[in-house]
Chains A and B, each alone.
Chain A
Amino acid sequence: MANNFSIKHQPGFTAIAATCFAVLYLPIIVLVIYAFNAASSTSEWGGFSLRWFQSAYQNTQVIDATLRSFQIGSIAAVLSTIFATMAALATTRTASYPGLTFKYAAINQPLMVPEIVTGVALLIFFSRIKIFTGYSGLGYLIAAHTAFCIPFAYLPIRARLENMDLTLERAAADLYATAWKTFRRITLPLLWPGILAGLMLAFVISLDDVVITEFVKSGGQDTLPTYMLGQIRRGITPEINAISTAFLLLSVAIVTLFFFVSRKRD
Chain B
Amino acid sequence: MATAEEVAKAAERRDVRDRWLLSAPALLVIFLAATGPLLIVLVYSFLTPGAYGDVKWQFSSDAWTSVLLERDIFDDTLSLAAAHVTIFLRSIKLAVVTTIATLALGFPTAYFMATRSEKTRDLWLFLITIPFWTNLLIRTFAVLQIIRNEGIINTILLKLGIISAPIQILYTDTAILIGMAYVYLPLMVLPIYASMEKLDFRLVEAGYDLYATRFRVLWRIIFPLVKPGVIAGSILVFIPALGAYVTPSVLGGGKNMMLSNLIELQFGQGRNWPLGSALSITVMIIVMVALLAYVRNAGKSGVRHG
Contacts and interface: CB of A to CB of B under 8 A. Distances in A.
Contacts of A91: 19, 23
Contacts of B249: 229, 233
A134 to B, nearest CB: 17
Contacts of A124: 37, 40-41, 44, 273, 277
B111 interface: yes
B37 A31 contact: no
Contacts of A90: 18-23
Nearest to A131: B54
A173 interface: no
Contacts of A244: 135, 138, 141-142
A11 B214 contact: yes
Contact of A13 (B112, B204, B263, B291): B112
Contact of A121 (B130, B143, B259, B280): B280
Nearest to B254: A233
Interface string B268-306: 000001001100110110011001000000000000001
Contacts of A11: 214
Interface in A107-122: 107, 109-110, 112-122
A127 B277 CA distance: 14
Given A110-B34, A112-B287, A113-B38, A25 B22 contact: no
Of the candidates B27, B151, B240, B276, the one having the most CB atoms from chain A within 10 angstroms of its own CB is: B27
Contacts of A161: none
A20 B109 contact: yes
A247 B138 contact: yes
Contacts of A12: 108
B214 A229 contact: no
Interface in A71-119: 79-80, 82-84, 86-87, 89-91, 94, 97-99, 103, 106-107, 109-110, 112-119
B23 A87 contact: yes
A8 B197 CA distance: 12
A87 B277 contact: no
A211 B245 contact: yes
B131 A13 contact: no
Of the candidates A11, A27, A30, A91, the one having the most CB atoms from chain B within 10 angstroms of its own CB is: A27
A16 B109 contact: yes
Contacts of B281: 117
Contact of B139 (A20, A27, A82): A27
Contacts of B291: 112
Interface bracket on A: 35 or more
A42 interface: yes
Given A84-B26, A103-B23, A113-B284, A120 B144 contact: no
Contact of A31 (B112, B136, B141, B246): B141
B19 A259 contact: no
B242 interface: yes
A117 B283 contact: yes
Contact of B137 (A99, A154, A225, A241): A225
B243 A117 contact: yes
Interface string A1-33: 110100111111110110111011111101100
A6 to B, nearest CB: 9
Contacts of A7: 201, 204-205, 208
Interface residues of B, number: 90
Contacts of A121: 34, 37-38, 40-41, 280
B16 interface: yes
Nearest to A146: B29
Contacts of A80: 29
Nearest to B199: A8
A43 interface: yes
Contact of A147 (B33, B139, B284): B33
Nearest to A263: B122
A232 interface: yes
9 contacts: A9-B115, A27-B139, A28-B139, A30-B146, A82-B25, A90-B22, A103-B23, A122-B33, A244-B142
- In order of increasing CB-CB distance, the 4 nearest A-B pairs are A114-B243, A43-B150, A17-B112, A121-B37
Interface of A: 1-2, 4, 7-14, 16-17, 19-21, 23-28, 30-31, 34, 41-43, 79-80, 82-84, 86-87, 89-91, 94, 97-99, 103, 106-107, 109-110, 112-125, 127-128, 143-144, 146-148, 150, 154-155, 204, 207-208, 210-211, 214-215, 225, 228-229, 232-233, 236, 240-241, 244, 247-248, 251-252, 254-255, 259
Interface of B: 15-16, 18-23, 25-27, 29-38, 40-41, 44, 54, 105-106, 108-109, 111-113, 115, 126-131, 133-139, 141-146, 150-152, 182, 185-186, 189, 201-202, 204-205, 208, 214, 218, 239-240, 242-243, 245-246, 249-250, 259-260, 263-264, 267, 273, 276-277, 280-281, 283-284, 287-288, 291, 306
Given A21-B128, A116-B259, 5 more contacts: A10-B111, A41-B150, A113-B284, A117-B281, A143-B32
